Amino acid sequence: MRTQFKAARLALGAALLLGTAAPLAAQALSPQQRQEVVEVVRDALRKDPSILRDALMALQQAEQEDRSTSQRAAIAAHEEKLLRDPADPVKGNPRGDVTIVEFFDARCGYCKSLHPTMEALLREDSKVRLVLKDLPILGPNSVLASRALLAAQRQDKYVPLQDALMKLRGEPTEAALQAEAQRAGLDWPRLQRDMQDPALKIRLQENVAMARTLGIEGTPALIIGGKLVPGAVDLPTLRQLVAEARQAGKPG
């Protein structure tokens, strides 16, 4: 019984030090008892510093699990808007059995590195549907590029311009956008006019708000099989994620 009591005091002390104990539990201890707990924890840490490491790892794992659970719930709650918003550009098979949603920034280096990998997946798997959501978070040129892409969609040229910008090595300045747009067969004066449409700003704001709701912290961010996959992934990983989504019968 005494060993169990010491273990309980140690666990409570570690929780107090880490700031995770419930306030009522802390209030139930007298000043003398709290001091005893602190001493027990200090002594234990001196004898075995790995206790703190293990506690921190457990805390991080718990936080990650909570974050994943919250993200899955948010994805499920916004599934229709994420997967089937008619305003969003789509690549691959429009009637595919698995949908990937990609939040990307046209200036993002990791997004550019993911682009050929995603293209390879779409070529080899004719049942994948890719929904693209512009998320311009890297400055004014990101916003400029996103406006150009959404304006290009009105000329049915979103995909060729997006492909060009993903391969662009320099900044997507207005001059660079004009060159790439004209190379893709776009009407540049019309594109310029459409880029100023306030409706495009609203769409981008909605994308940013959705990303915030889902806990997206950077680009690229993928949603596959009802879960969030942050960062650029390789082709084998993409294949596996798609296979898992298909096996589970999840559309996205």
pLDDT exceeds 70 at position 38: yes
- Residue 165 has a pLDDT of 98
Residue 54's pLDDT band, with cuts at 50, 70 and 90, is low
- Residue 10 has a pLDDT of 45
- Residue 245 has a pLDDT of 96
pLDDT in tens, 103-160: 999 999 999 999 999 999 999 999 999 999 999 999 999 999 999 999 999 999 999 9
More confident residue, 72 or 154: 154
| pTM, 2 dp | 0.74
Asked if residue 92 lies in contact with residue 129, where contact means CB atoms within 8 angstroms, the answer is yes
More confident residue, 38 or 10: 38
- Residue 24 has a pLDDT of 46
Cα distance between residue 222 and residue 231, in whole Å: 8
pLDDT exceeds 70 at position 187: yes
Asked if residue 232 lies in contact with residue 64, where contact means CB atoms within 8 angstroms, the answer is no
- Residue 121 has a pLDDT of 98
Q: Any idea what DSSP says for residue 87?
A: T
Task: Provide the percentage of residues in the chain whose pLDDT is more than 90.
Answer: 69
Mean pLDDT of 194-209: 97
Strand partners, 128: 98
Query: What are φ and ψ of residue 132, in 5° steps?
Result: -105, 130
- Residue 238 has a pLDDT of 97
- Residue 139 has a pLDDT of 96
pLDDT exceeds 90 at position 61: no
Q: Any idea what DSSP says for residue 231?
A: S
Show me where the domains of the chain are located.
2-77, 79-248
Cα distance between residue 110 and residue 145, in whole Å: 16
pLDDT exceeds 90 at position 16: no
Helices 2-18 & 31-47, crossing angle to 10 degrees?
90
Mean pLDDT of 66-71: 69
Residue 5's pLDDT band, with cuts at 50, 70 and 90, is very low
- Residue 129 has a pLDDT of 98
Fold of 79-248: Glutaredoxin (3.40.30)
Average pLDDT, the chain: 86
